[in-house]
Amino acid sequence: GLGLASTEHLYVIKLNADSNSLVVGTESQLLNNTLTASNLFWLLGEIPKEIINIAARIRYKAPQVAAKLQINNGTATVQFHEPQRAITPGQSIVFYQGDTVLGGGIIEDRVD
């Protein structure tokens, strides 16, 4: 453990490698609506220049969830319609329209 006293369970919210520190918080602080992703790949047609409605999956076993996708200069910004739990940098995100995989990338960070 971290040796922290709290009346609630604490979770790692963010790792700060540069400062060798952790940000911890409550379970509700794990929820977030927006993330950025890089190392993008696109399977169908051209990368969209406008904001599009998609479904996205942020974990292998997670369900697809509704979101808006915007891509600028090789970085995707994904805004979920409902908050998602524990958006994790380094994990994959996959973009869908219906059953069709559009592409995906690697989660860089959650946007607070």
How many CB atoms are closer than 10 A to CB 61? 5
Please tell me the distance from the alpha carbon of residue 84 to that of residue 93, in angstroms, as a whole number: 13
The reported pLDDT for the residue numbered 11 is: 85
pLDDT score recorded for residue 15: 81
pLDDT digits (tens, 9 = 90+) for 44-54: 888 899 999 99
In this prediction the pTM is 0.86
- Domains of the chain plus CATH, in order, are 30-111 (2.40.30.10)
Q: What is the mean pLDDT of each run of 10 residues along the chain (112 residues)?
A: 82 86 87 97 89 95 96 97 94 95 96 86
